[in-house]
Structure 1
Amino acid sequence: MENMFDLTGKVAVVTGASSGLGADAALAYAKAGADVALLARRVEKLNEVKAEIEKTGHKVIAVGCDVTKEESVKEAMQKVIDTFGHIDILLNNAGVAVRGGVDNMTEEEWDKSFDTNVKGIFFACKYVIPHMKERSYGKIVNIASVNAVIADKNDMFIRHSYNASKSAVLGLTKGMACSYARYGITVNAIGPALFESEMTAGTLFKSEQFLNAYNAMNPAGRPGSRGELNGTVLYFSSDASSYVQGQFVIVDGGGSLV
C-alpha cells in the first residue's frame, strides 16, 4: 500500500522551530523523508535542532528570522528557495501567549500577540504562496490553538489577545483555503491544547494547582506529550490530506468536549 504520509523529496519550512512543538514537527518531517528549513530568531537554539535533524541524513538549514518583520521573512524564504530550489510545506508554528484581559493589558501586549500569531503567518504566506502557485502544489499548516474556540474563566490564565489572535488564524486559514485551492495548495489549521514546551514549562507546568485542575477536567486526564501533535501535522502536510481544505483539527485529549 502506498505510504501517503511519505515526504521524500519534499522541502518543509517550519517557523518557530527553535524549541517545543516546532522543533518536534521539524524532526518528524525529516523522519518522514523531507528536507527541512528551520526558522526562528534564536539561531543558537536552531543549530541545536539542526544537529538533531542531521542525524536523520536529510538536508537541513537554520535561518535566523523574525516573523514579525516583513523583510526578515522575505529574506529567509528566498534563502530557503536558493538552497533547496523549492518549498512544498509551510508550517506556521511561531506564536506567543500573552496573559491578561482587555481591562488590564497594554496596547504593546495586545500588538505582540497579533504581530506574531497573525501577521507572522501573513508574511510567511505572502512570500511562499506565489512560489507554490507557480508549481501548482503546496501544503500550508497553521498552528492555531484550542483557545481559538474556547476560553478560561480563571483569572490566572486569562489571555484575551491570545484568544482573539488564534481565532483570527482560523479566519485567515479559511480565506486562504478558498482562494488557493485552485492552485493545488491546501491550507488547514491545528488547535493544540496544553503541551509541555519551553513556552509552558516555565509557567503553566510550574503550577501544580493548575495542572491538577486541567487533568481533572480533561477526559484524557493529562496534558499532551512531545510528539503527539506530529501525526496531525504530517497528515495536513502530506498527500493524505489532498482533498482537505480549510479545516481545523483540535488536539486536546477531548478537553473541548466538556
Structure 2
Amino acid sequence: MATNHLKAQTPPEHKVVLVTGASSGIGEAVAARLAHEGHHVVAGARRTDRLRALAERTAQEAARAGGGIHPRPLDVTDPADVGAFVEFARDRFGRVDVLVCNAGVMPLSRLDSLLVDEWNRMIDVNVRGLLHGIAAALPVFTEQGGGHFVTVASIGAHQVLPTSAVYSGTKYAAWAITEGLRQESDPSIRVTTISPGVVASELADSITETGAAAAMHTYRAHAIEPRAIAEAISYALAQPADVDVNEIVVRPARQR
C-alpha cells in the first residue's frame, strides 16, 4: 500500500533516477541538478559521507520541487551490490525510471609503464561497472515497459592521446556497449551516451605516473564545470517519450 500511495503522489514528470559515482564531480552535479528539478535521486558511491553531505546540502531546494537525494553505498565493481542498489530504488519508489552510469576512474599512463593494476582498475570500474548496471536495470525496465539508460563516456571514446590508450579503450568500450544496448532495446527504453571533454573533477588525482600527471595538468588548463554535463543529462531526460537523444559531446570551447 505504501508503495502504491507513493507512486500515485509522484507526478509523471518527476522521475526515479539512479546515479552512480555521485560523491564528486559530474555525478555530484547530476544528482544535485536532478533533485532540484524534483526528481527522486538515489545517489550511489563508496564515500557515503560525501553523499550524506550532498543530500543535506540540497534537501531544502529539492523538497520544494518535490524531489530529494537518497544516499546509498555502492561499489559498481560488485554485481550483487549494483543489483541491491537498483532493488532499493524499486522497493522504495515502486519503479526505476533512469540509470545514470557515471562511475569512472582515469589513472592515465604510458603502456610501457606497465601499470597493470591500474589498467585492471579502469576495466573493472569503467567497463564492468557499466555492464553490472545494465544487468541490474534492464530486466526492471523491460518488466515495467520503459526506462532510460545514460552512460557517461568521454571524449576519450573518440580520441586517443599518449598515456590514454587504456582509458580511451575503456571509454570506447562504454560507448560501444551503450550503442549496442540502444540497437537491441525496445523503443520504450531510451539510451543516451554523454561524452564530456575536459571537466573540472577529481579524475586526474588518481594519476600516479609523473609524466602523465604533468601532461594532464597542461591538458586540463581549460576545463568546464560539471554542471554543464548535468545540464546535458537533464536535457536528454526531459525529452518526450518518443524522442531518444542518443549522444551528446560536451567540451570546453577551447578544447579543439
TM-score normalised according to structure 1 size? 0.84
C-alpha distance in 2, partners of 1:248/1:40? 25
CA contact (8 A) 1:141 1:189 kept: yes
Q: Does 1:67 align with 2:71?
A: no
Q: Deviations over 1:115-151 (max 9, x none)?
A: 1001101111111111111121111110000011112
Q: Deviations over 1:199-248 (max 9, x none)?
A: 34687xxx898656655xxxxxx311241112211122233574326x33
Q: Residue type matched to 1:94 in 2?
A: A
Which residue of the other structure, out of 67, 88, 110, is the alignment partner of 1:79?
88
CA contact (8 A) 2:20 2:27 kept: yes
Structure 2 match to 1:219? none
CA contact (8 A) 2:106 2:206 kept: no
Structure 1 match to 2:38? 33
C-alpha distance in 2, partners of 1:65/1:168? 22
Structure 1 match to 2:190? 186
Alignment of structure 1 residues 1-258 onto 2, 5 Å: 8-55=13-60, 56-57=62-63, 58-153=67-162, 158-182=163-187, 184-200=188-204, 222-240=222-240, 242-244=242-244, 247-254=246-253, 258=256
Structure 1 match to 2:6? none
1:102, CA displacement in angstroms? 2.2
Q: Deviations over 1:126-179 (max 9, x none)?
A: 1111111112111111000001111224xxxx1221110000011001110011
Cα gap change, 1:212/1:123 in structure 2, threshold over 3 Å: closer, same or farther?
A: closer
| Secondary structure of the corresponding residue to residue 128 of structure 1 | helix
1:185, CA displacement in angstroms? 0.6
**Uncovered stretches (5+) of structure 2, i.e. residues with no partner:** 1-10, 208-212
Cα gap change, 1:214/1:50 in structure 2, threshold over 3 Å: closer, same or farther?
A: closer
Q: Deviations over 1:27-50 (max 9, x none)?
A: 111122211100111111111111
C-alpha distance in 2, partners of 1:201/1:101? 16
C-alpha distance in 1, partners of 2:14/2:231? 19
CA contact (8 A) 1:98 1:161 kept: no
Q: Residue type matched to 2:106 in 1?
A: A
Cα gap change, 1:227/1:41 in structure 2, threshold over 3 Å: closer, same or farther?
A: same
| Secondary structure of the corresponding residue to residue 191 of structure 1 | strand
**Uncovered stretches (5+) of structure 1, i.e. residues with no partner:** 1-5, 216-221
Identical-residue share of aligned pairs (%): 24
CA contact (8 A) 1:235 1:241 kept: no
| Secondary structure of the corresponding residue to residue 228 of structure 2 | coil
1:255, CA displacement in angstroms? 5.6
Root-mean-square deviation over aligned CA pairs: 2.4
TM-score normalised according to structure 2 size? 0.84
CA contact (8 A) 1:7 1:32 kept: no
Cα gap change, 1:214/1:99 in structure 2, threshold over 3 Å: closer, same or farther?
A: closer
C-alpha distance in 2, partners of 1:208/1:124? 33
| Secondary structure of the corresponding residue to residue 229 of structure 1 | helix
